[in-house]
Structure formats: structure tokens, C-alpha cells
Structure 1
């Protein structure tokens, strides 16, 4: 069997599940043989030899390897055409295009299968969170679960490690809160940064300035603040461009990764109605210029960044005012 895709963590997980399934459902003792690239460098014939020979420690054998420069298309073709093999063959193909010859061989074969591993969707991540957390006897609040889901990536193994790290952090407290998630994922500062963005979005320059001061006093790197602002307005511009092409807000945000945190959806929707694409481009220009100047003049970093926060909040207030007319 070929297991392939962009999610390397999910590939590894599927291979482990497949091996366990074969062992549990096979009445005979089964041996797992892993053949690495280094093994094939020393003995190029090892893969074929393992597939042809009987197991020394069991009745059946699982031979697994990864697609590498020592495993050619000719090797795979030969393996798929082998008769009377007593071994199960599992190949980790990595990210393969539909035109890849190895993938085509497995898909065309009558005696093999190809299993794609696509990146986890929002639903997949929610199911993974439920599986790991409830399996350990923990309960997670709705907002904590949403925040955790938003912070998980496109690699199943990494996502699983993040959830397990959260469980280790909460220890004996079986109820996981939003604060637990933010601390365990090293994202406590995002609370203040989110407030800065929210007050900028509402055009409230006084509160935006106050939260910016709090961020600076707590030791946040101002380059991180600038980076967050840049990422926020880039994402806003991306959504606005899709909406301007005739799509709805829901359609424009459906495929975003990470998705918009549910508490911020109304704010983003309001910004898309208030700001024009040109205004967002102007904001991105101001952010770029401020970032450049602050790096050239570190002593002025605070003053330059604070000026930017006030500028963006003022732009938002004007945009909201113009829309209200």
C-alpha cells in the first residue's frame, strides 16, 4: 500500500494504524521490518530480499519504507508484479502529484492501493481535540476549543503534540479554559494584541493607544506588534478582494487557514464593509514604512509604532463615519 500526501504527520499516523490493524487481525505472528535509505545504500537489494523471504520471527512480515532516491519506479513496478509474496508492503510516498509515476503504478494495480492524506480540516481538528482530550478524561470549554483549533497547523503529529502539551500543562485540573490554551500554546500576548486590533477596527484611538502601552509595558517585542498588524491587514485585503469579486463574506473566509476566531468574525465583517481595498493598501503601506523606519531607528521604535496605531485607528474611524453617511 502507498500512503502519500502533504500532511507528513498524518501519513505516519496512518502507517502505524495500518500496521496495528494487520497485526491485530492476523492470527499469525507478524514481524515489522523497516528498510531505510541508509540500509539500501549498504545493500541495494535489501528491500526486494525482505519481500521475497520468510520472516525469521513470525509467520507474516510487514516491510515498510519511504520513497527515496534508492527506491526507483522500476523497483516499485517489480514489487507490485511479485507473485506469492508472504509480506505486506507499505510505502511512505510523501507529497506526490497526480502525475507521479509511483502513484500511478499503485492506483492502476489490482493488488495494491493508494491512500491520500490531506491536511486536516477544521472539522478534523475538532474531532482530534475531542479524541485526545476526552480520551484522557478532560473537558474543554467552547471558546478554549475554538482557540486551540485555530492554533493547530497542517501537520497531524504536531497538532497531536500541541494537544498533549496542553493536557500536561493543566495536569490535575480536568477542565481546560481559554487561558490554559493561550498559556500552553505560548500565546498569552495575543490577548492584548487582539485588543489593539479590535480597538483600531472600531476607530477608538484612545483605547488602542492604551492597549498598545500595556503591550509595551509587558515586554512585547514591538516588531511582533508590527508583524501582527501587517498580517491582520494583509488577511483583510485578501478577504476584501474576494468580496469585491462578487463573493459573500462567508464564501471569502470559508477556506482561510487558520480560520478567523469566532469572536472576531463580526469585527472582520464590519471592516470589510467599512474599508475599501485602496484604504487597506494604504494601511499596509503605512505599516511597511513604519517597520522599515523603526528598524533603521531603534530609539524611535516606540514612538513610530504608537503613531502608526493612532493613524490606523483614525483611518478606521473615518471609514466607519463615511459608511454611516
Structure 2
């Protein structure tokens, strides 16, 4: 069966970067969209296709690929005019049956093309995921939020590649400040490396100055206000962030990570019979002390099914933002208003 454990994905992709892709089709899925994009990009580069050549690299929206099921196979089996590998990269989600477009490729895999399907989170029972996991010609690559060990490795790799050093205590402090989203973590580490300039050693002063800045704290404030039903604070802080140039998708992504964390914490409450305060107090990396009370209130407020439903809506909104940047801000405000009103309704019921 062609499926990877989440912990094996980076090692497998590193091997592809040395010797080339080992399957004709790759399904990159999961809730961490930053990590999904990073892994899809690495596989794309390893394919050997010229990513600047529109004939060698074809990019398709998932909805378009599903609307014309024969197009994906036609593109994959088209012979390059000038020789060499071709890359077919499908991105986004669709309510249509994308599996119909994929089936011909599993029956007759292309010899001179690599197909990448980068999508959102998929249940184990999802038809597309299930079919690809059973095919010897395709590989499913899961992308879940980074845990502490993965973030530590990311820090170590990026610092080493930059020719700098960081001691264990400073590295641990940096990891505690970074979240589980791979793309956001890379952005913070890149910013830190740029700030250190010609300094060879990264110090605690560098980390405290650059990482976890006021904008990040303000985004957390928006998330907590929405999750606890504080409409005035949510609207005021969101408007200030947008006026300062904060990208709407960063706020949506922070909301998604927060509700996924609450969903996990709610499950632990049910299995361990601990109260909300104990569960939040035991999280690693720890919740910032300034946020702890608000996070505990949110965990007490939201049920498991409500958290799961909201996480899925946020996931869908984030993908829609990526496909239509012009709608980012309206989508953000609509989603935040919906979450805040739901929190207010839950407060009245409790």
C-alpha cells in the first residue's frame, strides 16, 4: 500500500531530491497547508521538469480538473515537445468527484510525467485518499501540524544551512515561540536569520526581539476574542491588524490551528476526565500565560462536534483564500463573525 506515516514524509522526500520521484502520482493532503505546499514544492522540484516552462509544468485548479475528467490524463500523457519530464500540479479542493480524473492515471501511469495533487485535509475514508493509498503507482503524503521534535529539527536545519550556531537553551526558547504550521515557522526563522546579519551566533536577545512580536500577539488576541464571543475586541483588533497590512490568511490560519488544538484538548478531557485548566496547563509547547485564561474559557465553552465543524469550515475558507486572494478580507470577516456569534450562543446556553 502506497502511504506514508507523517514521521516518514520528510525522509522519503529527501531521498526523492537525490534520486528523483519514485511514483507517478502524489497526493499531498492534511490540515497544515504550509507544510503541504512545502512538500509538494519539493517533490515538484525533484521531478526534473522545468517549472518556468508553461509546456513542461501545467498547473490546474482541482475544480477544473474534476470538471473535465479526461484532461488530467491527457496532460499527463502528452509528450514534451523538447523532451524531458513534465509536471502536472493540481491544487485546491473541490466538491466534485476528482477521483474520476485520477483513475485513468492509476490504471495507466504516465512514464514521462509526475502528477501532484495538493489538497486539504481528507478523512481516512475519503474515496480519493483511500484509492491512492491502495495503488502501487501513487503515494499519499500526510501533512499534519509539526510537533516539538519536528520544529526543533527545522530550527537546527535552517540555522546550520545559514552557517550560524544556536545553543540548546536558545533553541528551546525559539521552538516554544513557534507554532505547528511549517510555513509560518519558516517565515519566523527566516526573519530571525535576516535580523542576526553577520552575527554567527543566534542569542536569546535575537530571539526575544524578533520572534513572537506584537503582530503575532495581536493575532492571538483576535483568535481568543472570537473563540470566547468578545465581539467588540475581535472587531477592533482585526481592523487594526488589517490596517497595519497583516495578511488575512495569517489570521485564518491562526484560527484553524487554535480550533484544531481545542479539538485535541477536548478529546483529552473526555479520555482522561481532567478539567479544562489541567488539560491546557499540560500542553506542550505551553500556552502563553497571557492567553491561558481565555483558552481555558474557550475549551469549556465549545463541544467536540462544534470544534470539529468549525475547524473544517476554517480549512475550507483558508483554501478558498489561496485560490482567490481578492476575497481574503471578506472571507476572514465573515468567518470571524460566525465564530464569535456561535461562541456567544454557546455562552448563553451554558
1:35–1:64 CA contact under 8 A, matched in 2: yes
**2:36 paired with 1:36:** no
1:59-208 equivalence runs, <5 A: 59-69=84-94, 72-82=98-108, 85-187=111-213
Flag structure 1 segments of 5+ consecutive residues without an equivalent: 25-29, 191-234, 269-279, 285-325
Select the residue among 256, 269, 274 that pairs with 2:283: 256
Measure the CA separation in 2 of the matches of 1:189 and 1:89.
38
2:65–2:90 CA contact under 8 A, matched in 1: no
Measure the CA separation in 1 of the matches of 2:127 and 2:67.
26
Measure the CA separation in 2 of the matches of 1:83 and 1:21.
18
Rate the CA distance shift 1:37–1:189 in 2: closer, same or farther, 3 A: closer
1:182–1:188 CA contact under 8 A, matched in 2: no
In the TM superposition, what is the alpha-carbon distance from 1:41 to its structure 2 partner?
A: 9.6
Alignment match, 2:33: 8
In the TM superposition, what is the alpha-carbon distance from 1:84 to its structure 2 partner?
A: 5.3
Rate the CA distance shift 1:143–1:56 in 2: closer, same or farther, 3 A: same
In the TM superposition, what is the alpha-carbon distance from 1:31 to its structure 2 partner?
A: 3.3
Measure the CA separation in 2 of the matches of 1:156 and 1:84.
31
Measure the CA separation in 2 of the matches of 1:153 and 1:255.
16
Measure the CA separation in 2 of the matches of 1:42 and 1:84.
21
1:266-281 equivalence runs, <5 A: none
What is the root-mean-square deviation in Å for CA atoms of aligned residues?
Answer: 4.3
Measure the CA separation in 2 of the matches of 1:161 and 1:57.
37
Alignment match, 1:218: none
Measure the CA separation in 1 of the matches of 2:93 and 2:273.
45
Measure the CA separation in 2 of the matches of 1:40 and 1:91.
10
SS in 1 for 2:47: helix
In the TM superposition, what is the alpha-carbon distance from 1:83 to its structure 2 partner?
A: 5.1
Alignment match, 1:58: 83
Rate the CA distance shift 1:122–1:99 in 2: closer, same or farther, 3 A: same
In the TM superposition, what is the alpha-carbon distance from 1:253 to its structure 2 partner?
A: 7.8
In the TM superposition, what is the alpha-carbon distance from 1:49 to its structure 2 partner?
A: 2.2
1:192-218 Cα deviation digits (max 9, x unpaired): xxxxxxxxxxxxxxxxxxxxxxxxxxx
Count of matched residue pairs? 215
Alignment match, 2:3: none
Rate the CA distance shift 1:188–1:100 in 2: closer, same or farther, 3 A: closer
Q: TM-score, normalised by structure 1?
A: 0.54
1:49-82 Cα deviation digits (max 9, x unpaired): 2112111233321211124336622112233223
Alignment match, 1:17: 42
SS in 1 for 2:138: coil
SS in 1 for 2:145: coil
